[in-house]
Structure 1
Amino acid sequence: MRIAFMGTPPFAVPTLAALHAAGHEIAAVYSQPPRPAQRGKKVQQSAVHDWADAHGLPVRTPKSLKSAEEQAAFAALNLDIAIVAAYGLILPQAILDAPRAGCLNVHGSILPRWRGAAPVQRAILAGDAETGVTIMQMDAGLDTGAMRLIGRTPTGGKTAGDLTDELAGIGAAMMVQVLNNLAAFAPEPQPEDGVTYAAKIDKSEARLDFLVSAVQVERQVRAFNPVPGAFFELESERYKILAAEVVHPGETVAGAAPGVTLDDALTIACNPGAIRATRMQRAGKPAMDAAELLRGRGIPAGTRLA
């Protein structure tokens, strides 16, 4: 099929690679424009842009698709279909209508649950037992289009990074499967019940809240790994907790206020229960096991964390 691929972050790369390997004709790759990144603010291309360049695919990076000129350029590609994976720009109706078979999206949840920008993190935070990928026929709404195929996977114990990588691979294989026989995967409307929205993650959400249960705090740790990183502050320094285990689940630890360390191994009281950090990162330092970090910077029992 003659395809335009539209994606930006690493999550989208496996789908582009799978379509390329399957022999589809990729007429153009659309990605968000290069932007300053990291501390040095050096302008960097997106992961999709880099992959497309490395494989000799033409790349377009418009800031918007709202102009008549951009829409005409897209229509001139004479596409069978467009494939979208975490592109990050709104597709106007003229873009949705241009390909003969419309636009398909790889969405990282089991729709209609977790429509929106951060489905993986929200599924972990909510304690969902499973999540997945939906191949969706796009319409003008926010992830409201009809579904062609759903894949599922357990969420238990996985970080957002782990789960995103897994879902990217599942979605790539599913998209190739759907394109091999579009007629066999007829679009079905989403159920009206069970709609939830996955709002974009705000960095302020990553500050650990020890006033909630240890189970919820551990979910917060996994949901914000690798970014933005769940953290607490001590003496004006930020410490990220990259992995933690729940101890004393469901129990209120006698005499321990939430946010206070219970021992010298960074076991922290929650409400109820406690968590013990197992992997951490100090500001400007590499990630390391918590025990190693504590040998260099002890945090004794009775320390209150903010």
Structure 2
Amino acid sequence: MSIRPPLRLILMGTSPFAVPALRRLHAGPHRIEAVYTQPPRPAGRGMKERPSPVHEAALELGLPVLTPASFKTEAALAEFTALAADLAIVAAYGLILPRPVLSAPRLGCINLHGSNLPRWRGAAPIQRAIMAGDATTGVDIFQMEAGLDTGPVLASRTVTIGPHETAGFLHDRLAAIAADMLPSLLEGLANGTAQAIPQPSQGATYASKIQKDEGAIDFGQSAIEIDRRIRGLTPWPGCFAYLGKERLGILAAEPVAGSGEPGTVIELPLTVACGEGALRITSVQPAGKRPMPAEAFARGRRLGVSDRLACRAIA
């Protein structure tokens, strides 16, 4: 069922999570007045300024793009308000929206969030769900308010996290689901039939931003915990350990039975003892080289039983 007249929309996003939603909105009956995204940042070896994935997608679709560094200036607020939007759709934008922005669109601002709230409010819900060993997660679309991901939920879907699923794969799955949820929700918002359900007061957790040093593997942890960390931090920032002074990216592994001094190779090609159980490492990336099977790495380095991996360089 199409809506007449179409809604006037603003899409606000930066990371790839927002791109499927942008494409779905562009293909629908509504009008995207502008796309907001964070300014281009230096990236790559040459550190040249690179537009965000949302910026690139918007240009491809021929949509106007705005890149304010913040909404702290009167000019930025006035520009946003002048668009006279019915609704702003926010997905992995990365900027705090002040009250005047939240209240400017006729229907307010809604957020596409990669978890079932109130679990994993914050910046990294997908990674934290995998790292915590959650069995399920999902997508919630909620009405934004001043608090951090605290607004009432307008639409929700739950999915099972696969036993071997990485954050990258789950991210793409949830982004597609979020885009699929939008058409019926927009119809409900336009027709006044959408219902916002307050979040439960219990069970809130915070998904803090991922830091690069979280990728260091502590073999004193259980093999199950390490496996979750590897999957949760793939593809970024990735996990690593050290063989002597050499940093070694750990790309894929699986928990197996085994015991020994944590960090010690107990079986070739590359099974390493953990605080509980053992980790069979299947894919690695030596510093400055391409990914390779762990078997090829172990053979090339002539690794033997009793060699050790550690979370920091050992002289």
Q: SS of the counterpart of 2:165? A: coil
Where in structure 2 are the equivalents of 1:268-279 lying within 5 Å?
A: 268-279=272-283
Q: Partners of 2:9 and 2:302 in 1: how far apart? A: 56
- Tell me the equivalent position of 2:156: 150
TM-score where L is the length of structure 1: 0.96
Aligned-residue offset at 1:247: 0.5
Task: After TM superposition, give the deviation of residue 266 of structure 1 in Å.
Answer: 1.0
Structure 1 distance, partners of 2:181, 2:239, is 32
Distance in 2 of aligned mates of 1:45 and 1:72: 24
Structure 2 Cα separation of the partners of residues 13 and 30 of structure 1: 12
Cα distance, 1:268 vs structure 2: 0.6
Is contact 1:264-1:298 (8 Å) kept? Answer: no
SS of alignment partner, residue 262 of structure 1: strand
1:29-178 equivalences in 2 (<5 Å): 29-156=35-162, 157-178=164-185
Alignment of 1:27 onto 2:36: no
Indicate the SS of the match to 1:148. Answer: strand
Partner residue in 1 for 2:214: 205
Provide the C-alpha distance between the structure 2 equivalents of 1:151 and 1:292, rounded to a whole number of angstroms: 42
The answer on 1:180 being equivalent to 2:184 is no
Q: Which residue of 2 aligns with 1:305?
A: 309
Aligned mates of 1:8, 1:176 — CA distance in 2: 21
Q: In the TM superposition, what is the alpha-carbon distance from 1:292 to its structure 2 partner? A: 2.9
Cα distance change, pair 247–233 in 1 and its aligned pair in 2 (3 A):
same
Aligned to 1:287: 291
CA shift at 1:3, angstroms?
A: 0.4
Q: Unaligned regions of 5+ residues in structure 1, if any?
A: none
2:3 is matched with none
The corresponding residue for 1:257 is 261
CA–CA distance in 2 between the matches of 1:7 and 1:225?
A: 22
Distance, in Å, in 2 between the alignment partners of 1:5 and 1:279 is 38
- Give the residue type in structure 2 aligned to 1:203: K
Whether the 8 Å contact between 1:10 and 1:48 is mirrored in structure 2 is yes
Q: CA RMSD in A?
A: 1.1
State the 1:296 CA deviation: 2.9
* SS of equivalent to 1:184: coil
Cα distance change, pair 290–23 in 1 and its aligned pair in 2 (3 A): farther
How many matched pairs?
A: 301
2:230, 2:252 within 8 Å by CA — same for their partners in 1?
A: yes
Give, as a single letter, the amino acid of the residue that structure 2 aligns with 1:222. Answer: R
Give yes or no for contact 1:206–1:231 (8 Å, CA) kept in 2.
Answer: yes
Q: In the alignment, is the contact (CA less than 8 A) between 2:133 and 2:228 conserved in 1?
A: yes
* Structure 2 unmatched runs, 5+: 1-6, 311-315
Taking structure 1 as reference, are residues 269 and 98 closer, same or farther at Cα in structure 2, changes over 3 Å only? same
Contact 2:39 2:67 in 1 (8 A): yes
Contact 2:87–2:105 at 8 Å: present in 1 too?
yes
